[in-house]
Amino acid sequence: MLILAFKFVIGHAAADFVLQPTAMARGKNRHLVMETLEGQKNVLFWPYWMSAHALVHGGIVWFISGNPVMGLAEFVLHWIIDFAKCERWTRIHIDQLLHMICKAVYIFLLLR
């Protein structure tokens, strides 16, 4: 169980910090207006950034768990949790706690 938990935490840290460039971190927030390469505002593009970020997380969960349904669940849940953070309904510590609760549920489901 501890090895699986460690894998999920490493995967989460990699996806949330290492594999999330500044453009993605800012671009997924519909309230942060940025110019795109084409000179347009990111208001039209934030769902793409958010979806790409959540997809990376979903892919890592799928890879670690071997379960595509868990990967899909992670994609959806990560999207919702990060959206809530961008809307300022939650803060970074609650955001990270919610992500870790998701990982704990995956571990529980995998080991039952």
Domain that holds residue 104: 2-111
Asked if residue 94 has pLDDT above 70, the reply is: yes
Express each pLDDT in 49-93 by its tens digit: 999 999 999 999 999 999 999 999 999 999 999 999 999 999 999
Torsion angles phi and psi, residue 41, rounded to 5? -85, 150
Whole-model pTM: value is: 0.89
Task: State the total domains in the chain.
Answer: 1
Torsion angles phi and psi, residue 31, rounded to 5? -90, -10
Q: What is the pLDDT of residue 15?
A: 97
